[in-house]
Structure 1
Amino acid sequence: MTPSATSSAPAAGTAPRIGFAAQVDHTGVEVDAGPPSSSGLRAGTELFTAAERLGYDVGYVRTRHLQDALSSPLLFLAALGQSVQRMQLGTAVIPLRFENPGRLAEDLATADLLLGGRLRAGLGSGYSAHDAMYVEAYGQMRGERGEHVDRVLHELLALLDGQIVSTADAHVEGVEPGTPLRVQPQVPGLRSRLAYGAAGAERAAMAGSAGLGLQLATMVPDDGSGRSFESLQLDVVEAYREASRAAGYGEGHVMVSRQMIPVTGDAELERYVSLIPRERAAAPGVSGEHRSLEIGGHEAVYSQIVLDDPSVVAQALIADPVVQAADEIVLVLPFSADRTDQLRVLESFARDVVPHLLAAIVT
């Protein structure tokens, strides 16, 4: 599990990056015993620090608003980077429905500088079909959700590319009048390290055409064909690769996430089964792919979940054609697990699964 600078499709003998995605909470706010602090943020910092020691290449946090999970992930990652020295740090994802493109461009660039170019920010549309609850805090969308998100993304990328937004007049301190003004700071290469979380082929192709990486989750839209999750997601990968090549960005970079948890005994199996969403946890072992509704209300197919011996987990990943086609493989930790359980999963996956996985893929 060594850091990789390549953004092309995996070639023979090329090891994919190995990462994980975790939910970090800003809960447990403490104000009585000294300066304000959060036990949830401390636990998240400890988890990522331990993951770096275990050899993971990249770690991601999810973003939520009006909930307990991180609402300001870039601030957390910038602070985390002061103790996590090697591992790349990212988001999966920042929902653009809530963002101002100028402010987000400033925050992305500043965080990337503080991280020494290690930021791997994933962007996405959002996660709720019921937008009314967010209007008071985050304002109205401009048009339909898709139009609004596309506008924010287009403006964000233009700003990161150095678009001139104004010209200095006599009231701008320290700048000669007439000087072109851009959103600051400008960080060369930052745009190429961004990714987009796309579930379907159309959005994946958009990401490829824009020169962004692709983040794939454990869900894909159900096209009604009855095809397997892996078959549907392979279509998404191919749409992305094709669009990336056509736009002159080569094969791009594909990150695939899976929830496959190694367990070493009946006690662990019983404990971790309870952490899986109720409709997915009818029986221990391999829980097959699941058809249901996504958060936005559309029909979706969810990947299988594996809770089993590490060798079974490794074989399930090795047999997954989307994993075989990926540049980066990300373990999704159970979001409701406490830090002790999350750390145990990270340790077992790194020790007992990754060596077998890489030995099979890197041939």
Structure 2
Amino acid sequence: MKKIGFLSFGHWTPSPQSQTQSAADALLQSIDLAVEAERLGMDGAYFRVHHFARQLASPFPLLAAVGARTKKIEIGTAVIDMRYENPHYMAEDVGAADLIAGGRLQLGISRGSPEQVIDGWRYFGHRPAKDEDDAGMGRRHAEEFLELLRGKGFARPNPRPMFPNPPGLLRLEPFSEGLRDRIWWGAASNETAVWAARRGMNLQSSTLKFDETGEPFHIQQAAQISAFRAAWKESGHARTPRVSVSRSIFALIDERDRAYFGRGRQEDDKVGYIDGSTRAIFGRSYAAEPYVLIEQLRKDEAIAEADTLLLTVPNQLGVAYNAHVMEAILTTVAPALGWR
């Protein structure tokens, strides 16, 4: 069995070809898509976070709204760039959103990816410490955030408070019990996957990772998952971790599918450079008739290793079409592969 969710970047553009022509369209349709996904039996609704772009950005109002409109589906991010985050304010926001959702948040965080502007986190008031780069700052923010989610008091109370305090040092409120175990780290390398395991975070691995061996993407990703699980075991954590991978997968069922995805398929991995210097490998997309997809996906070693699969969706094609995309995978592909 495998959990299957969708991952939306929440693009919008003022174009006649787009179903999301404004930020309001992208946000409101994201809520509607999560409702549809729950109706179809999907397990998760996940959203990407990008700043300074016509995409979803501040995630917590959206997560809270989805939580209020749904009952069972997991609600998450993949991922929040921790270089931009104030860990204390974020802990309050995520606690509130998780309580609204009844403890269904699965929050993906990371050190971030290349952004739309140079050092965008500086505009948010953040600076790396001495002898620290921006990636180190993102990891430091993540560790501070994780500590806050333990719910331990750390702030000395005012002896003359406006409202009565419980005894001892105070923690941030609202606090959501169990959320600390539902934090995921988006790792682009084997090293950071191991780093996440040692800190008790689940693993999110996307369609991009550093090209560390020259092997096909799915083989490198499977090796990353293996390294993560080995480090988790060595660390002695009590619970079993979760691992997700993301893929673009489209079953060609009707003429719309063939028109959108039947031509110009990306059937091979691609290699490029992040920030002009780091060699990275980008995983292939899948678009074919269901019987072909089934055989192709059987060979994807990373999907086989993961317990959760996030399907990237073309949100600008609208809620109805994306519901069709998800339903096609659930009914024509997932059962044959033992995911359902």
TM-score, normalisation: structure 2: 0.89
Tell me whether 1:292 sits opposite 2:280 in the alignment: no
Equivalent-residue separation in structure 2 for 1:130 and 1:52 (angstroms):
32
The equivalent of 1:167 in structure 2 is: 156
Equivalent-residue separation in structure 1 for 2:200 and 2:122 (angstroms):
34
1:24-39 residue pairs with structure 2 within 5 A?
A: 24-25=10-11, 38-39=24-25
The equivalent of 1:154 in structure 2 is: 143
Tell me whether 1:63 sits opposite 2:45 in the alignment: no
AA in 2 matched with 1:23: F
Change (3 A) 1:268 1:169: closer
Q: Name whichever of 117-126 and 167-176 sits farther off.
A: 167-176
Tell me whether 1:96 sits opposite 2:82 in the alignment: yes
Percent identical? 29
Deviations 1:38-77 (A, max 9, x none): 2322222221111111110111011111222121212101
Tell me whether 1:187 sits opposite 2:173 in the alignment: no
Q: 1:320 aligns with which of 295, 300, 306?
A: 300
What's the secondary structure of 2:30's corresponding residue? helix
Q: Name whichever of 296-305 and 19-28 sits farther off.
A: 19-28
What's the secondary structure of 2:294's corresponding residue? helix
AA in 2 matched with 1:93: V
What's the secondary structure of 1:81's corresponding residue? helix
What's the secondary structure of 1:243's corresponding residue? helix
Query: What is the alpha-carbon root mean square deviation over aligned residues?
Result: 2.5
AA in 2 matched with 1:349: I
Equivalent-residue separation in structure 1 for 2:151 and 2:257 (angstroms):
51
AA in 1 matched with 2:323: L
The equivalent of 1:245 in structure 2 is: 233
CA drift of 1:323 comes to: 1.1
Equivalent-residue separation in structure 2 for 1:256 and 1:78 (angstroms):
24
Tell me whether 1:46 sits opposite 2:32 in the alignment: yes
Q: Is the 8 A contact 2:194 2:228 kept in 1?
A: yes
AA in 1 matched with 2:185: Y
Change (3 A) 1:171 1:55: same
Equivalent-residue separation in structure 1 for 2:166 and 2:300 (angstroms):
59
Q: How many residues align?
A: 329
Q: Is the 8 A contact 2:44 2:76 kept in 1?
A: yes
Change (3 A) 1:227 1:135: closer
What's the secondary structure of 1:330's corresponding residue? strand
Tell me whether 1:262 sits opposite 2:251 in the alignment: yes
1:1-363 residue pairs with structure 2 within 5 A?
A: 15-25=1-11, 38-128=24-114, 132=118, 134-135=120-121, 137-142=123-128, 143-176=132-165, 179-223=168-212, 225-249=213-237, 251-265=240-254, 268-272=257-261, 283-284=264-265, 287-294=267-274, 298-334=278-314, 336-358=316-338
CA drift of 1:260 comes to: 1.4
Unaligned runs of 5+ in 1: 1-14, 29-36, 274-280
Equivalent-residue separation in structure 1 for 2:73 and 2:166 (angstroms):
42
Q: Is the 8 A contact 1:106 1:185 kept in 2?
A: yes
Change (3 A) 1:296 1:130: farther
Change (3 A) 1:132 1:295: closer
Equivalent-residue separation in structure 1 for 2:280 and 2:321 (angstroms):
29
CA drift of 1:301 comes to: 0.9
Q: Name whichever of 198-207 and 330-339 sits farther off.
A: 330-339
Change (3 A) 1:324 1:292: same
Equivalent-residue separation in structure 1 for 2:116 and 2:31 (angstroms):
32
